Structure 1
Amino acid sequence: MEKRFYTSANSYSLGTILKSGFLGYKNSFYLARQLAKRDISAQHRQSLLGLFWVIIPVLVNSIVWITLQATGTVRITETAVPYPLYVIVGTTLWSLISECILLPINNINSNKSIITKINFDKEGLITLGILKFGLNFLIKIVIVVLFLLFYKVSITTSLLWFLPLLLLSLIIFVSIGILLAPIGILYNDVSRIIPIFFQFAMYATPVVYMTPKSGLMNDIMRLNPFSYWINDLRNALTGHPIENIGFWFVLLIFAVFTFFMAIIVYRVSMPIITERMSA
């Protein structure tokens, strides 16, 4: 039997924790993949529409705004791309944020039974969430691509920015979700507040309408970092230039910091959380 010895000199060093965290993701990948297959199969086994449910919330939200704009119920400032495309891209991107942030909390809570019964690297639960999220994302991006083809959006070099900037964004949002996970697992209020917060934040972000040229909402949106994020990702996807390069350099630094902090916090907190669950 393998013997492991822990001393106070190395068990709490950042280097040791980081190394253990990375190994945890590597060692638990197979388990995460099997759990992802199980969850995806169970989720859609008794559903007539199956995977289509992934895009229904985005489509419904988009159709509402497209209808309001088409009927003149709401007057929308003219957008740089056709308004239906503007809304579909905006709502799809916006849905990714709350999904990524809730990803760690939801997957840990939904797998409490195996956490307390099976000894495995708990990083596998994050990998599990990422795998399930990846499938949902691919379905949503296919719909977006169909709209891009329908409106004959020209392909420019700005499209090369989309995937790197999106990946950077997803790293940040998942990392934030991991940092919130210890609190969110102990208190269900966190997982309830996050969707409500982003529902309100959407209206302070140019998701379904352009930033006004003046007024209070103009000031709010310019102070809102999500505005720069969604505008540039939409621009990259629809063939328009990136407008806020400096913002993305700051975001890169923030991504590196939150990524390593998330690995450390998760590795240190999960044994404590597992013990609380077993009590």
Structure 2
Amino acid sequence: MLETRIYSNSNTYSILHILLSSIKGYKSSFYLAKQLAKRDIKAQYRQSLLGILWALIPVFINALVWILLQRSGAVKLTDTPIPYPVYVLIGTTIWSIFGECLAMPITTVNANIGIITKINFEKEALISLGFIKLLFNLLIKLGLIILVLSVYQILPSSSIFFFIPLLLLTMLFFVAIGTLLAPIGVLYADISRMIPIAMQLLMYTCPVLYVLPKEGFLRQIMMYNPLSYFIIDVRNTLTGFDVEHWFFWLGAFVVTGIMALLAMLVYRVSMPIITERMSA
């Protein structure tokens, strides 16, 4: 009796199958991501006189402007719980990390279009590549923060142990949003141009440069802006204050997990389509 085989010509895949394929893609392509990250980091600073200082200069200049405005009296701000230079420098540094995480997926994919269209590899390597570079820049910026804290003799409390988990959760939140935007952002440059403008505007609706007002319309805006809680508590963990919004972080953990899974699905499904369009 002959063996009977039934072949199914179906292009439909379950969500679980796509997620497992995405996880496998991240795992199998991590070595490639590390090699590409080394290449990019070396190329970025090879022909630069200031080297890694370029990662700090935009943040330092932004903070310096506000420090000068505050000290000259041109802008009157409510007293901060820590010296204002420390407050604004940590705030702008953390905010710059948020912006970099949001823009990273689109920037990384666009920067590697030539590889995508010529070489067949797991495209999750590009997200891993971007995240490794983000962590490298993070170490540089943390060095600046530690130096400033040392100069002003600000000692962290036990809340410092929450700094890395909360910061990584926040970074994952912004990377997930950026990954969801990546399919559109790669095809239309408007998205990548809008991100820095949007982040610049949102910065003024968060306690990045000044403390949360005690009353008024601006306080209401900041209270309704979830990004305010990210910046407040991450900064608190560095400057000796307690984490104030634990219920927010519990919700942020759940939301970030859902968004990360959704981003994996969208990225996995959309990248073959983007590759095909870019190759045409």
TM-score bracket for the superposition, by shorter chain length: over 0.9
Displacement after TM superposition at 1:80 (Å): 0.6
Provide the C-alpha distance between the structure 1 equivalents of 2:259 and 2:39, rounded to a whole number of angstroms. Answer: 30
Distance 1:165 1:106 in 2: 24
Match of 2:105 in 1: 104
Aligned residues: 274
Instruction: After TM superposition, list the pairs within 5 Å mapping 1:152-231 onto structure 2.
Output: 152-231=153-232
CA offsets 1:140-165 (integer angstroms, 9 cap, x no match)? 01100111111112231111111111
- Amino acid of the structure 1 residue aligned with 2:187: L
For 2:259, the equivalent position in structure 1 comes to: 258
CA contact (8 A) 2:156 2:237 kept: no
How far the C-alpha of 1:183 sits from its partner, in A, is 0.5
In structure 2, give the amino acid aligned to 1:8: S
Distance 1:246 1:26 in 2: 32
Q: Hey, what does 1:51 align to over in structure 2?
A: 52
For 1:199-234, what per-residue CA distance to the aligned partner results, in whole angstroms no more than 9, with x for missing partners?
111111110111111211111111111111111111
Match of 2:10 in 1: 8
Q: Check whether the contact 2:67–2:84 (CA below 8 A) recurs between aligned residues.
A: yes
Q: Is the 8 A contact 2:236 2:243 kept in 1?
A: yes
Distance 1:240 1:275, change over 3 A: same
Give the match's secondary structure for 2:34: helix
Which aligned pairs between 1:28-177 and structure 2 lie closer than 5 A?
28-177=29-178
Q: Which residue of 1 aligns with 2:3?
A: none
SS of equivalent to 1:258: helix
Change (3 A) 1:272 1:6: farther
Q: Deviations over 1:127-181 (max 9, x none)?
A: 1101111111100011001111111122311111111111111111111110000
Structure-1 separation of matches of 2:161 and 2:38: 31
Supply the distance in 1 between the matched residues of 2:51 and 2:148 (Cα, whole angstroms).
21
Distance 2:103 2:205 in 1: 21
- Kept after mapping to 1: 8 A contact 2:15/2:265: yes
Measure the CA separation in 1 of the matches of 2:232 and 2:134. Answer: 23
The CA distance in 1 between the partners of 2:14 and 2:8, in whole Å, is: 12
CA distance in 2: counterparts of 1:12 and 1:246, whole angstroms? 36
Counterpart residue identity of residue 235, structure 2: R
CA distance in 2, matches of 1:168, 1:189: 27
CA distance in 2, matches of 1:254, 1:102: 19
Q: CA deviation at 1:26?
A: 1.1
| Structure 2: distance between partners of 1:206 and 1:7 | 56
Secondary structure of the corresponding residue to residue 211 of structure 1? coil
Q: TM-score, normalised by structure 2?
A: 0.95
Equivalent position amino acid for 1:136 in 2: N
> How many angstroms does 1:6 deviate by?
8.1
| CA drift at 1:8 | 3.1
**Percent of residue pairs identical:** 53
Give the C-alpha shift of residue 7 in structure 1: 5.5
Name which of structure 1's ranges 185-194 and 30-39 shifts more when overlaid on structure 2: 30-39
Give the secondary structure class of the aligned counterpart of 1:158: helix
Structure 2: gaps spanning 5 or more residues:
1-6
C-alpha distance in 2 between matches for 1:260 and 1:143? 33
User: Residue type of the partner of 2:136?
Assistant: L
Q: For the residues of structure 2 that align with 1:188 and 1:205, how far apart are their CA atoms?
A: 27
Q: Give 3-state SS (helix, strand or coil) of 2:92's partner.
A: helix
User: In 1, distance between residues paired with 2:257 and 2:136?
Assistant: 25
